[in-house]
Structure 1
């Protein structure tokens, strides 16, 4: 860009010539400061020679200085800002400074919301049974003697204390597998015979099914448990080097091992509390005491409901406390509520235990038109079974052959 300053006695000019290199912009435009019409296209070299050869009037030297000062201020303006003739607005300091990259960025606005004091935050309340602490202390007092079957013949007492660590853990797992739907006395006797035979992974695999069945008989479902013991032993030898898994996920993968056995095995064998071991006693007593937000249908639902509110430091203790309490006081049928210390706080105290519903078609089945809504628990039996049998003896079944003989005798007579 070329600037040329001109001065005269009557009018001053500032001429700007913009040279465009593109063929489209070959003309040169001239802008006059005084706001007159655009001058014609005059070559810059000829104009410069005329101005330099022309003598400068001493009288107009002041005007030339003013024009030079205005031209200097004009040069300091950004090239992108257009120069408007005749504008009279004052210049600010920001007008003369170049725009930086930071100033071109869009400023971030901070959004603030007014706090509504009328709206209260939602609080999630931690549910728990109202009298559970008092009831737990009463159960501890009733279990202080530790003379229940689970204390003397449970899984904690069925392993060989002098055996290697991995053998002890395997024996704990075997005792838990045998204890399913079996009394502790029967489980302890079966474990005693197995230990005398050699309760290791290798011995279980080398023992045939018939001999193994005789060793664990009469535990519940002993034929199925023989298969589970064989499959579990083979899996332990192949994947875990003869030891049991050290996680709940690994334990429940074993045949015949459920969540209750897995959590108890983690507690007894690995000394790690991973969850609450809930069996039929814990399931029954938790529902009777009202320790659940809503009644549950199976032990697994009870376990999840208890773990939501019961402190973790009680998870290991609660199993043997409630199991022994269910074996001695809070029985499945006819619980001893009169000697229970929780009889005044238990919502199920002094209530008749529900009887087992008879099978359809049996002589004791109710009338189909009548409503029969009582439910039973897994280990319950009817308390009036023997009384009804004595008072109302059932007729002996008559074979078809005997019926034909009676009909023939009646026809003859």
Structure 2
């Protein structure tokens, strides 16, 4: 059998002591594999000589301890480090590096670096959460809302007397009342409240139920709802909606916004108002053209919106939920009386000093006696007709009245004189 020879070689640890005190100089001792000790610097005091004597005790370190230290150094080298520190190769007594010596790399501790990263990430996450939970609201909106309440205290706008809340039969069964609320909302689109109320009065006299609407022919139904806006299209919507309600909901209207918007001719504004009036549930803000216009004029939105649906979403982001039911009739009546679509009456509005749109489209002269703004700002702001209705009345008068009634008296006198001369 071949003879196997085993040899044990003990590697000694390179130690370096650095004295930071100005009373001592650097002292370095190197112990090679052969056990020879070499002093790189001279001792500067008695304490230095004691340290030198302690270095000689390294020879007595057991091989097990040395292996343990080497294993720890190897594990530290494999771990993460930000700035490794090398002690350099072993030196022979004459100062040259040992040919078989290896460089031991000792890593710096990365504990402080890891703690710093965690802290930065935590601060960053905290800022993101703070940005997400930041609540925006327009300045002075509470004061402006209080002023609108004061200007609407008399409740004499068209929406107060002829809105969807006033158009249903209070003595009818519950499901019939809810259907009549939905019908009045469908007819009110692009139509003044006065015209809608008149059409609903004729429908109720005819019998405004799901069964009666389906049994009525299109021509008769059109005559009943005329002259609401887009009355021909609304006749089709009423027929389709009534058929859908009878087939899927047993003659009643859906009790959810999702179910209501599925009906032909019913949009988000009508759905939220129907939920509030018919089912007494606040599901959202009913935004029509008045609410859309006034919200943009008052600066109640982060950025201007292009349609009522965008306005509804923007308002619901900051307006307290307990005000969602009130805000519709407040702003609708305010838009019918004071904040008119054309030439708003800013001179009599209590918000003229805080509204960013004040006097931009306002008339230069104060309103005449008998007009909505003839009284003081704290009065009741009474009005009977909207500007659109006044224009319609003028157009009808122009078509029906004879031309002689529209000629001024001076012109008439001039014509008479010319005939007499002839």
Report the TM-score, using the length of structure 2 for normalisation.
0.58
1:263 touches 1:276 (CA, 8 Å); kept in 2? Answer: yes
1:288 touches 1:346 (CA, 8 Å); kept in 2? Answer: yes
Q: Does 1:152 align with 2:158?
A: no
Secondary structure of 2:185's partner? helix
Match of 1:338?
347
1:203 Cα deviation after fit = 0.2
Q: Does 1:189 align with 2:202?
A: no
2:338 touches 2:349 (CA, 8 Å); kept in 1? Answer: yes
Match of 1:228?
237
> Which of 258, 267, 278 is the equivalent residue of 1:249?
258
For residues 313 and 326 of structure 1, what CA distance do their matches in structure 2 show? 21
Change (3 A) 1:149 1:263: same
Secondary structure of 2:127's partner? coil
List per-residue Cα deviations over 1:125-147 (Å, max 9, x = no partner): 22111111110000001111111
> Which of 108, 117, 129 is the equivalent residue of 2:138?
129
List per-residue Cα deviations over 1:310-334 (Å, max 9, x = no partner): 1111111000000000001001111
2:346 touches 2:362 (CA, 8 Å); kept in 1? Answer: no
Match of 1:162?
171
Change (3 A) 1:294 1:379: farther
Q: Does 1:267 align with 2:276?
A: yes
1:273 touches 1:316 (CA, 8 Å); kept in 2? Answer: yes
For residues 158 and 253 of structure 1, what CA distance do their matches in structure 2 show? 23
For residues 196 and 189 of structure 2, what CA distance do their matches in structure 1 show? 9
Match of 1:53?
none
Structure number with larger C-alpha Rg: 1
1:381 Cα deviation after fit = 11
2:187 touches 2:228 (CA, 8 Å); kept in 1? Answer: yes
Change (3 A) 1:118 1:209: closer
> Which of 233, 239, 242 is the equivalent residue of 2:248?
239
For residues 182 and 326 of structure 1, what CA distance do their matches in structure 2 show? 15
Q: Does 1:306 align with 2:312?
A: no
2:345 touches 2:362 (CA, 8 Å); kept in 1? Answer: no
2:162 touches 2:197 (CA, 8 Å); kept in 1? Answer: yes
1:113 Cα deviation after fit = 3.8
Match of 1:93?
none
Q: Does 1:212 align with 2:218?
A: no
1:332 touches 1:379 (CA, 8 Å); kept in 2? Answer: no
Structure 1 or 2: larger helix share?
Answer: 2
1:286 Cα deviation after fit = 0.4
1:259 Cα deviation after fit = 0.6
For residues 327 and 284 of structure 1, what CA distance do their matches in structure 2 show? 11
2:186 touches 2:234 (CA, 8 Å); kept in 1? Answer: yes
Secondary structure of 2:212's partner? helix
1:352 Cα deviation after fit = 2.1
Match of 1:85?
none
For residues 275 and 112 of structure 1, what CA distance do their matches in structure 2 show? 48
Q: Does 1:315 align with 2:324?
A: yes
1:332 touches 1:380 (CA, 8 Å); kept in 2? Answer: no
Secondary structure of 1:121's partner? helix
1:333 touches 1:381 (CA, 8 Å); kept in 2? Answer: no
Q: Does 1:324 align with 2:330?
A: no
Aligned length, in residue pairs? 268
Structure 2 alignment gaps of length 5 or more: 1-5, 7-61, 65-110, 364-386, 396-422
Q: What pairs with 1:53-92 in structure 2 (closer than 5 Å)?
A: none
1:148 touches 1:327 (CA, 8 Å); kept in 2? Answer: yes
2:347 touches 2:362 (CA, 8 Å); kept in 1? Answer: no
For residues 336 and 197 of structure 2, what CA distance do their matches in structure 1 show? 16
Change (3 A) 1:312 1:138: same
Structure 1 alignment gaps of length 5 or more: 1-34, 36-87, 91-109, 355-377, 387-413
> Which of 280, 284, 294 is the equivalent residue of 1:285?
294
For residues 63 and 244 of structure 2, what CA distance do their matches in structure 1 show? 92
